[in-house]
Every structure is written in C-alpha cells, then in structure tokens.
Homo-oligomer: A and B are copies of this chain.
Amino acid sequence: MIQLNNKIYTCPVDVALSFIGGKWKILILSQLHQFPRRGYVELRDNLPGISEKMLSQQLKELERDKLIEKNVLSKKPYRVEYILSADGESLSPLYEMLSQWGISYLETQGIHYTQDQHLYK
C-alpha cells in the first residue's frame, strides 16, 4: 500500500497506471512515439472516435504529468506541436510491446495488419 497526494495505490504498477491509464492516453502517447511532432488536428484525425473535448483533456493531463511537451509554434495564429518528453519516451518499449502484441493477436484472427503511415491523413 502506497500513499501519495491523499491517494492510495496498491503497488507501483498502480502508480504507473494512474498516469497512463484511461481510454486514450496510451493511444496518444504511442502515436507521438510513432510520429513525433504532431499538431492537434493531426492527433485528432489519427484517433478516430475521439472527441475534441477528450483530446484536449487528455493532452492537458499528459502535459501536467510531464509525459508530453507542448510547443507553441506561433501565437497568432495559434499553432502548436506535441512531442513526447523524456519520461514519455522512457515508456517506448511499452508502446512497442503493446503494438506487437496487438499485431500478433490480429494474426491469430486472420487479420494481417500492415502499417500505413498515411492511413488517415
């Protein structure tokens, strides 16, 4: 049992999951791992089904937790890019492992996944 910021965690895994758990975070991080320097709309268009509300919210939390960094490229017009921070990069093996695992699973289902970098853009 670990106590931290008035919250209780069952173990270190629980602590880690508090940062990257949830429906979209790992997906966002793994996209930034595959495609560094993405803008808001690029992220959105490559996460079919996500709402803008969710995306903003998750990006804000990931930034707060220092897993990603946001660069403001210009103020007017307002243009940004998101990149993984060092902490976010440190989880790269995780993104790759999950991707591999997903691909293997798809194979067992007779689906042969070939990555297309321009699938949605």
Q: Which residue of B lies closest to A47 (CB)?
A: B10
- Copies of this chain, how many? 2
The interface on chain A, measured as residues whose beta carbon lies within 8 A of the other chain's beta carbons, has a size of 43
* CA distance in complex: A5, B45 (Å): 23
Q: Which B residues touch A100, using CB under 8 A?
A: 12
Contacts A48-B10, A49-B10, A113-B2 given: A16-B94 contact, CB under 8 Å?
no
Q: Which residue of B lies closest to A90 (CB)?
A: B101
Interface string of A3-45 (1 = CB under 8 A from B): 0100011111111110101010011001100000000000000
In the complex, the answer to whether A30 meets B1 with C-beta atoms within 8 Å is: no
Binding site for B on A (CB under 8 A): 1-2, 4, 8-17, 19, 21, 23, 26-27, 30-31, 46-49, 90-91, 93-95, 97-103, 105-106, 109, 111, 113, 119-120
